[in-house]
Structure formats: C-alpha cells, structure tokens
Amino acid sequence: MSKNIAIAGVTGAVGQEFIKILEQRDFPIKSARMLASARSVGKAVKLKGRDYPVEELTENSFAGIDIALFSAGGARSKQFAPAAVKAGAVVVDNSSAFRMDPEVPLVVPEVNPEDIKKHKGIIANPNCSTIIANVPIWPLHKANPIKRMVVSTYQAVSGAGQAGMTELLNQTREILEGRKPTCKKFKYQIAFNVFSHDSAIGPNGYNEEEMKMVKETRKIFHCPEIAITCTCIRIGVPRCHCESINLEFKDSITPDEVRQLLEHAPGVSLIDDQVNNRFPMPLDAADRDDVYVGRIRQDESIPDNKAINLWVSGDQIRKGAALNAVQIAEKLL
C-alpha cells in the first residue's frame, strides 16, 4: 500500500540519500512532503518524477503523513518528532535524540527487526559506526556468543554531513595549491591527516562516538553484559567508514567458520583475498548497500582459538544512515 511520507532535513547529505534510495528501492509513495529549515524554502526536490517544493519544518508539517524520515539533527528531532507522532505518523529518526530511550526501539533490520513492532510512534536509527559493526557481528554472535569486543574506527568526513565532505575537498585543493588549509567544520586539518573523532570527551576519557557504539550495541543485541571498548578516529576519506574489530567468543571459532557464517549473512559481502593482500576498502563500499568484511584471522593472543580479528568497510551515508532508515520503513509496510 502506498504511503504518504515526509523527509525532515531533505536538503542535507542524508536527506538527499533518502531520495536516491527511495527511488532505487521503489518505495511505494502516494505523496511526499519535503521539509527543511526556512533558508531552504523555495527549492524543489524531485522524487519518482514529481517535483515537490521544500517546506519549512514546523510542528504543523505532518498532517496526513504515514511515515516521517528524520535527519535534521537531534535538537529538531526532539522538537518536531513528537508533533509528527501526534499527527499520526511513525517517525524513523536518524539522530541520537531517542536512541537510548527505553521506550524507543533502536533497530538494525538485519539484527533486530522484531523490535520495530514495539514502537510507540518513534523508531531510532543507530549511529553509523554502530550499524556498520553490528551487521557482520550479529550472525557471529548468534552462532557463538561474543564476550568482548575491541573496536577501532576509521571514520569518513561524511559523518559530519555535507560540510565535512566539502571541507575535505576544499582543504585538499588548498594544500595542493600551496595554500594554508581553511578549518571551519573541523577544529583540525583533515586533508592528509588523522585525528581523534571530533565529539566531546566525557569524564571517563571516551568520546561520545565511542560510548554510542558501546551503549547502542548492547541495546540492539539485547545483551548488556557484552564487554565493549572503542577508539574512534576521523580520517580524510569522503563517505565510507572502516573498522578494525577484535571479537572474543564464548567458545572456540576458526576463521573458516567465520567466513562460512558471513558468506550468506544479510547485508554482508566478503573481500578476503589473503594471497593478493586484497581486503575491503572505502572504494569498495562507496554507494553500496552491504558492509564489506575481510582480514578474517585468528587472534593468537587469546588461548583456545576463542578470538577473531575482522576488518570492515561500509558506506556511512548509505547503510550507516539513510538505507538503514528506509529498510526500517519497509518493515513498517
């Protein structure tokens, strides 16, 4: 059945990805409402051959809407999502506003689609780095419970939105032309550089991004006892995150068993060519739905073959944000 949808934050990087994915997956749309800040009013967005004017996002934007896809930032989600629910819409929210609310399902469709039916009007989309890790880890956890995860992320600038991607390109041009790079979106130069993720450091010494991965994974897996530690790093890549993941399991497991489990896992593709040293790269994952997995090897520092190392790459804008939300909306159908 066709649905009336709204996209809040349609002019941003994830909002534009919503448009592309809805078309590519032929989501059944009766009508659409394109919502953004006042400065974007007057623009038009084309979806499935029809032009829609961009309207200002207000509390009165959701009359007649069935599903609202939000990617307008946490503050706007907190302000406007309740109004959308009151008007009768189901909100799929891409911000961090509701993720840890015990009344709000936090969903990766390949992992916990059954949680969608528990919603009370709002469903939260997890953090991008959490999604990209969870998709390949879940089938392993189902087969052999994970006791401990150690994750190091290498995160693309797209996680900071279109402004992050623009800054990387501009700085690269400036440096190659012999000019001083201009830092606006990021505190430090990102072109030809790597730095700790640009989120606030908490009293425990971990930044917000790291703690999101810890708390969200435990909630999605319904497994609060998993020991998780993360280090999140920003790198000068446009839109695909990479992650080094070390997993310690309850029972012994081999790399071949891991490959067998992942070979047909939903949302996962293997690139694990040890002979040619060919493993997942951001170039592989860009504009693709799957999370790519490779460098599957035994962690020989843990006895009894109970630990495995993985390397993954996934598109931050796509599976890390817009695609996951659209998949949730598809489940709502």
What average pLDDT score do residues 272-291 get? 97
Choice among 128, 230, 232, 240 that is catalytic: 128
DSSP string, 17-79: HHHHHHHHTT--EEEEEEEE-GGGBTBEEEETTEEEEEEE--TTS-TT-SEEEE-S-HHHHHH
Domain 3-125+321-332 in this protein, CATH class? alpha beta
Q: pLDDT, tens digit, for every residue of 245-279?
A: 999 999 999 999 999 999 999 999 999 999 999 99
Using pLDDT thresholds of 50, 70 and 90, give the confidence band for residue 1: confident
Domain positions in the chain are 3-125+321-332, 130-316
**pLDDT for residue 42:** 87
Q: Do domains 3-125+321-332 and 130-316 have the same CATH topology?
A: no
Q: pLDDT, tens digit, for every residue of 142-198?
A: 999 999 999 999 999 999 999 999 999 999 999 999 999 999 999 999 999 999 999
What average pLDDT score do residues 44-55 get? 95
232 catalytic residue (yes or no): no
128 catalytic residue (yes or no): yes
* CB-based contacts of 108, cutoff 8 Å, min separation 6: 126, 130, 131, 134, 135, 138, 220, 324
Say whether pLDDT at 244 is over 90. yes
Which superfamily is assigned to 130-316 in CATH? Dihydrodipicolinate Reductase; domain 2 (3.30.360.10)
**pLDDT for residue 135:** 98
Q: pLDDT, tens digit, for every residue of 59-82?
A: 999 999 999 999 999 999 999 999
User: Token digits for 63?
Assistant: 């009359």
**pLDDT for residue 153:** 98
End-to-end CA distance of the chain: 7
Choice among 119, 141, 197, 241 that is catalytic: 241
Give the HSE-up count for residue 230: Cα atoms under 13 Å, Cβ half-sphere: 26
